A and B are shown apart, each in its own frame.
Chain A
Amino acid sequence: MAAAIANPSVSIQDLSLNFGVMSVLKTLNLDVAEGEFIVLLGPSGCGKSTLLNCIAGLLDISEGRIFIKGKNVTWEEPKDRGIGMVFQSYALYPQMTVEKNLSFGLRVAGVAKDEIAKRIARAAEILQIEPLLQRKPSALSGGQRQRVAIGRALVRDVDVFLFDEPLSNLDAKLRAELRVEIKLLHRKLENTMIYVTHDQIEAMTLADRIAVMKGGVIQQLDAPQTIYNRPVNRFVAGFLGSPAMNFLKGELETGATPTFKGDGVSVPLDRYQFEGDGGRTAKSCVFGIRPEHIAFGEAAKAMPFTAESTVEIVDPMGSDTLVWTKLAGQIISFRVEADKTLRNGEAIRIGFDPARASLFDAQTDSRL
């Protein structure tokens, strides 16, 4: 996949985890560079949180090795791995004040009192929780609690931050705010961060690289834009993007120019970048195009491929409007500006550039 990274901050080698006969993680490899922000993205049950718990040392792995900062930590206790972890439910100790919550790990480790005070002051300043230090967690709002939880990782002065869906318990507005804060925090601290989420917007906005996971296997590990524009298989293509990518079933025909043939539609693929020799053999395939890459009306005429269609359903979403129509006998959606008023049944012209499309093998689901 990606080129090997010299001196990775976290390196996972051939990691497998089995619960009895069930295999949760399958010979997984992942190198995280120093100071990199990696997002593990996937649907529930894909093993992303499990992988994070393995890195943290909260789960014993079945096979493989884990290195953090060049040190083999496979058999180390969580506290000896140089990691700090932020949990979805915040996991603040309810009977302790914020200050005691922050200092708990340091007190357990027997750090000197003035050093503890210094580190708490620094963390509190970075996270702007100074006025909250003497409060109990029950007297804090969700956003404040999550800030304290981040602070708890911060005071421990660790190399690697692990986030386990830290924003999932917050409402949409707060989530967006804290997302920005985490990004700023990463820029300020320049620590390695591994962040688990099922929210693709968090993944796209935060990550240096995203690892999309499914069934205990990393499907694709790459920069957000690459994953978005050139997904390696149909799962990745469908998981990222909202509204989701349109898929059209059809045949790939070879010839002077490879062509996608659907029900009464043929899309020339001379501008499409095939992976390797994917375009050489004819086979049944799936043609994927994102709703925002479909042009409409006048703009459609300039596109290499155009087609006539009629409006089926109009979904106004505020910032823009999603229009459902039919192409090659299959339902597809595309985006138009919110001020365009379209009526159901109205005849329209749509078009797109096949270079922005994704083509997948119908059998293997992998990119052609």
Chain B
Amino acid sequence: MVDVAASPSDAGVLPRDDAGPAGAKPRHALSRRNIFLYGTLIVVALYYLLPLYVMIVTSLKGMPEIRLGNIFSPPVEITFEPWVKAWATACTGLNCDGLSRGFWNSVRITVPSVLLSIAIASMNGYALANWRFKGADTFFIILIVGAFIPYQVMIYPIVIILREIGIYGTLTGLVIVHSIFGMPILTLLFRNYFTSMPEELFRAARVDGAGFWGIYLRIMLPMSLPIFVVAIILQVTGIWNDFLFGVVYTRPDTYPMTVQLNNIVNSVQGVKEYNVNMAATILTGLVPLIVYFISGKLFVRGIAAGAVKG
């Protein structure tokens, strides 16, 4: 029975004497490869999750408990008061209605900006990919170069333009600014996606008599859900998280959530209410977080389908 232990197969299962290795190669859970692989993954995951954990835990504690200094320990007495305060009563400047004002401002900025920028960029991309008008390449290059110009260079000129039009400090102005700045990258995204679609499909639609809009609305749009999801995610998170444009182009009444969060967290007067700050930060980050959770799979698929090619 000694030689059975030396044999790679289980005793009795293989009746033949000459049985060498056969079938699937056995894998050991604690191989060096697995330890490295999962070890790295766990360390990286902890690295990202630990701050989130601290934030959630702290936001559920009262101030006396925070002052004890055990930032990793779970709350002894769970309280939702900091969340309520952050949402409804925290003071920024003259207003004391919490983040709720900023939240609704951000919604009023993000929704139209996302819709407008994606609507225009998808048409741009479609026209550039399928209707090769004269100078299309030049136009495209100019648009792409636009993606590399630092925002800071354009801030002041845009302030003047908005002031002259008379929409400086309004949400409309900020929506327009967001839409314009989203244009290069979104157009590139859509152009590449539409370019990757079979040319013959477009030709068939033309023979069938569909025009510019007919092909766009009835053939191309229904086929491009993945890339629209990618564009929506990019824009929602980008615009929601924007701070610079928000602080430059709006007034305190119309500040987006991010600017308001900054004002709450960085307020100098009084005691630092860490629990309220943590709750406010999580509240602000919640929208992009939810978007990622809902659309993660579609996002990956869309990136793979559109952005890599072309």
Chain B contact residues: helix, strand, loop or mixed: helix
Instruction: Given A108-B210, A108-B214, A109-B209, check contact A91 B223 (CB 8 Å).
Output: no
| Chain A positions within 8 Å of B205 at CB level | 93, 104
In contact, B201 and A105 (Cβ under 8 angstroms): no
| Chain A positions within 8 Å of B223 at CB level | 94-95
| Chain B positions within 8 Å of A91 at CB level | 198, 200-201, 203-204
B164 CB, nearest partner CB in chain A, Å: 42
In contact, B207 and A58 (Cβ under 8 angstroms): yes
Q: Is B10 an interface residue (CB 8 A)?
A: no
| Chain A positions within 8 Å of B209 at CB level | 77-79, 105, 108-109
Q: Is B208 an interface residue (CB 8 A)?
A: yes
In contact, A78 and B206 (Cβ under 8 angstroms): yes
In contact, A105 and B208 (Cβ under 8 angstroms): yes
In contact, A84 and B207 (Cβ under 8 angstroms): yes
| Chain A positions within 8 Å of B198 at CB level | 89, 91
B189 CB, nearest partner CB in chain A, Å: 20
Which of B186-240 touch A at CB < 8 Å? Answer: 198, 200-201, 203-210, 214, 218-219, 222-223
B84 CB, nearest partner CB in chain A, Å: 47
Question: How many pairs, one residue from A and one from B, have CB atoms within 8 Å of each other in the complex?
Answer: 55
Q: Is A39 an interface residue (CB 8 A)?
A: no
Cα-based distance from A105 to B207 in the complex (angstroms):
8
| Chain B positions within 8 Å of A104 at CB level | 205, 208, 210, 218
In contact, A78 and B207 (Cβ under 8 angstroms): yes
Instruction: Give the nearest-CB partner of A109 in chain B.
Output: B209
In contact, A93 and B201 (Cβ under 8 angstroms): yes
| Chain A positions within 8 Å of B219 at CB level | 93
| Chain A positions within 8 Å of B206 at CB level | 58, 77-79
In contact, A87 and B208 (Cβ under 8 angstroms): no
Cα-based distance from A164 to B206 in the complex (angstroms):
15
Interface residue total, chain B, C-beta cutoff 8 A? 16
Residues 82-106 of chain A: 1 if any B CB is under 8 Å from the residue's CB, otherwise 0? 0111011101111100000000110
Q: Is A152 an interface residue (CB 8 A)?
A: yes
Cα-based distance from A56 to B204 in the complex (angstroms):
10
In contact, A83 and B207 (Cβ under 8 angstroms): yes
Cα-based distance from A160 to B1 in the complex (angstroms):
83
Which of A40-63 touch B at CB < 8 Å? Answer: 53, 56, 58
| Chain B positions within 8 Å of A87 at CB level | 200, 203-204
Q: Which of B201, B214, B222 has the largest number of chain A CB atoms within 10 A? A: B201
Instruction: Given A93-B219, A95-B222, A95-B223, check contact A79 B201 (CB 8 Å).
Output: no
Q: Which of B201, B205, B208, B222 has the largest number of chain A CB atoms within 10 A? A: B208
B123 CB, nearest partner CB in chain A, Å: 19
In contact, A108 and B200 (Cβ under 8 angstroms): no
Instruction: Give the nearest-CB partner of A81 in chain B.
Output: B207
What are 19 A-B pairs at a CB distance below 8 A?
Answer: A56-B207, A58-B207, A78-B207, A79-B206, A83-B207, A85-B207, A87-B203, A89-B200, A91-B200, A91-B201, A91-B204, A93-B219, A94-B223, A95-B223, A104-B210, A108-B209, A108-B214, A152-B208, A164-B200
Residues of A in contact with B (beta carbons under 8 Å apart):
53, 56, 58, 77-79, 83-85, 87-89, 91-95, 104-105, 108-109, 152, 156, 164
Residues of B in contact with A (beta carbons under 8 Å apart):
198, 200-201, 203-210, 214, 218-219, 222-223
Given A85-B203, A105-B208, 5 additional A-B pairs, CB 8 A: A58-B207, A79-B209, A93-B219, A104-B208, A108-B210
